[in-house]
Structure 1
Amino acid sequence: MHSFPDHLLKGHANFMAGRYAREKDRIRDLAAEGQNPTTMIIACCDSRAAPEMIFDAGPGELFVLRNVANLVPTYQPDGGQHGTSAAIEFAVKALNIANVVVMGHGRCGGIKAALNPDSKPLDSGDFIGKWMSMLGGLPDQIVQNELMTPAERQTALERISIRNSIRNLRTFPYVAALEAEGKIAVHGAWFDISTGELWIMNSSGDFIRPDF
């Protein structure tokens, strides 16, 4: 049996001596009383785009769901096992989340794979390819634009994918109903890994850098 990664043990020791020591009262309250976040972040698995880091969030502040390329499927109560849909259901129905943010990021590997469907799958199961097929014909529409550079195509699909996930999120009946009642707000955001900039989607669907 392999030994547990040393850098993780050292990291936990630093956590106990640092952040836990500073915030132990809050952490213990969360353990006793349960979580009560007001915001759900649907983000990518990419290790460079951690929502807690990007939003400087403390324990219990964010309910975070991460999957490949921050995709949201349509509402499909078909008896299958749907991890993303289950997390959305819990956040909205059990935690009464007030804000849902779909956050994509630059240099996303899942989006890159969607733009290069002819590349060899990482494994015979091709779970990534099947997952990214959720985007339908959107990658083909981007690839056909020969005037765009590869980097421009990637950024374009990363942002279009966020809009598509928001559209899918609104197929969940309870999300649509709560949004119509003004009890939940759905947002889009895109994080630039290289610069640290956050772009947010406005009411027109355009991505803008907010003024602080």
Structure 2
Amino acid sequence: MSHLPEHLLVGYRNFMKGRYAAESERYVSLAREGQAPETMLIACCDSRSAPETIFDSGPGELFVLRNVGNLIPPFEPDQEFHSTSAALEFAVDVLKVKNIVIMGHGRCGGIRAALAQGGKPLKPGDFIGKWMSLIHTAAAAVASTSVMTATERETALERISVRYSLNNLRTFPQIKAREEAGELTLYGAWFDISAGELWAMNRETGDFERPSLD
């Protein structure tokens, strides 16, 4: 009887024979000296949009936070549990990252759920609906737009949600202060799963544009 799913064990064996064997010294160095990534990347939990794969990143290069819909809540210093805020605090205050990137993606289930309910919770007390209510105002506005197809509405809200989360990042005092001091830069991105296209948010206009690959 295996203590882990077989496909994970197969993947681990391949990892040990491949990437770990090729970069063992780097792993040993990271274990001994600790991590010092320059970039924090906030992405969705969706299994199809793994940041390390999309950006071909090696060990220690990205500090990754993933949650449903790649959302950032506003700064709320209360006595509740805040995993996303805790990760942000660690990245900014301890690791001193220089960049924070929020990356949305196409065909996002969380975004689709928010649109289906106009931003309202799916049912009383549910976790996903409550979480996605962070973008209730935008979801309600986009859902009511009849001139767009369902796919167009999803893409629009996926990108709008990135801008919402960037605004919420700036409600964290330490993030706002470091950005204003030129010590931290905030970015937005959107990844199209079906085409493999990456779109970067223009930091001046908010528009999403294809970066040059040359």
TM-score (norm 1): 0.96
**Partners of 1:143 and 1:120 in 2: CA distance:** 14
| Unpaired segments ≥5 residues, structure 1 | none
Q: The residue matched to 1:136 in structure 2 has which SS?
A: helix
**Partners of 1:126 and 1:78 in 2: CA distance:** 21
**Partners of 1:16 and 1:187 in 2: CA distance:** 34
**Partners of 1:102 and 1:2 in 2: CA distance:** 37
Post-superposition offset of 1:124: 6.9
**1:156-209 deviation line (CA, Å, top 9, x unaligned):** 000000000000000000100110010000000000000111000012100000
Identity %: 59
The amino acid that maps onto 2:205 is S
Residue pair 2:102, 2:166 contacting (<8 A) in 1 also:
yes
**Partners of 1:61 and 1:120 in 2: CA distance:** 36
Aligned counterparts, 1:18-167, within 5 A: 18-117=18-117, 121=122, 125-167=125-167
| Unpaired segments ≥5 residues, structure 2 | none
The amino acid that maps onto 2:23 is E
The runs of at least 4 consecutive aligned structure 1 residues that moved more than 3 Å come to 118-121
The amino acid that maps onto 2:201 is M
Residue pair 2:42, 2:65 contacting (<8 A) in 1 also:
yes
**Partners of 2:83 and 2:59 in 1: CA distance:** 23
The amino acid that maps onto 1:88 is L
**Partners of 2:30 and 2:3 in 1: CA distance:** 31
Residue pair 2:121, 2:130 contacting (<8 A) in 1 also:
no
Post-superposition offset of 1:125: 4.5
Q: The residue matched to 1:137 in structure 2 has which SS?
A: helix
Distance 1:4 1:196, change over 3 A: same
The amino acid that maps onto 2:208 is F
Post-superposition offset of 1:136: 2.5
**1:30-54 deviation line (CA, Å, top 9, x unaligned):** 0000000000000000000000000
**Partners of 1:107 and 1:35 in 2: CA distance:** 33
The amino acid that maps onto 1:13 is R
TM-score (norm 2): 0.95
Aligned to 1:204: 205
**Partners of 2:46 and 2:144 in 1: CA distance:** 27
Moved more, 2-11 or 96-105: 2-11
Please give the root-mean-square deviation of Cα atoms over the aligned residues, in Å.
1.7
**1:60-98 deviation line (CA, Å, top 9, x unaligned):** 000000000000000000111100000000000000000
Q: The residue matched to 1:186 in structure 2 has which SS?
A: strand
State the number of aligned residues.
Answer: 211
